[in-house]
Amino acid sequence: MKSVHEKKKILLGITGASGMLFVTSFLDTLTGLDLLVHGICSASGRNVLKMEQGLEPEELPGVSHWFDHEDLTAPPASGSSDYASMVVLPCTMGSLAAIAGGLSLNLIHRAADVMLKERRRVVLAVRETPFNRTHLKNMLAVHDAGAVICPTMPSYYLRPQTLAEAAQTYSWRLADQLGLDIPERKRWSDLNQS
């Protein structure tokens, strides 16, 4: 068992897009892993999380510390922080634009900016439909800056029967992107071999 200081640290940014079931699914997926998850939730993220899941961020499972989204003095604002990776889930078009433009309007944007400059993993779980030209250009800009665009799109070949099962397929994909090994993860290859 690693000490708290040796554990892999993941930063979770929650912004105000629809699809908060992906947040609860993802955090459930991380249960039992030897890592620390710290969170930042935007003001809109807090509203939409309440609307869609009836939860405050602080009630989400598995997040050991929450930073105020307006606190630009918090550790994630500095390149000296030791997060292995950051995921913005879900990621609004507004936050995507701020990250693409390098605007540190809140701690989520600043943390993503810092992670990109430090060449660490940043995954943006963008959510909007359809996309306009500005959205697409911003996605390309952050891709070119080193981020991974990972839209909240479940896969269907495992034949999910419920929204929770569909969200689970996406959470596994996200875990792959963050280099996290989920023992119970099912893959296309498992399906083919059975």
Ligand X SMILES: Cc1cc2nc3c(=O)[nH]c(=O)nc-3n(C[C@H](O)[C@H](O)[C@H](O)COP(=O)(O)O)c2cc1C
Binding-site residue total for ligand X (CB under 6 A)? 15
- Which of residues 95, 138, 168, 169 is near ligand X by CB under 6 A? 95
105 by Cβ neighbours in 10 Å (0-12 / 13-18 / 19+) ranks as middle
10/41 with CB nearer ligand X: 41
**What end-to-end distance do the CA atoms of the chain give, in Å?**
34
Q: Report the site for ligand X in 131-190 (rule: CB under 6 A).
A: none
Q: What are phi and psi of 62, to 5 degrees?
A: 85, 5
Q: Is the dihedral of CA 169, 36, 180, 147 positive or negative?
A: positive
71/128 with CB nearer ligand X: 128
Q: Amino acid letter at 90?
A: P
36/63 with CB nearer ligand X: 63
CB of 84 to ligand X, least distance (A): 23
CB of 93 to ligand X, least distance (A): 4
Cα distance between residue 110 and residue 154, in whole Å: 28
- The angle that helices 133-144 and 93-100 make with each other, rounded to 10 degrees, is 50
Which residue stretch of 72-80, 86-94, 136-144, 157-165 sits at the interface with ligand X (rule: CB under 6 A)?
86-94
Determine if 39 is a binding residue for ligand X (CB under 6 A): no
Residues near ligand X (CB under 6 A): 15-18, 42, 44-45, 48, 51, 92-95, 127-128
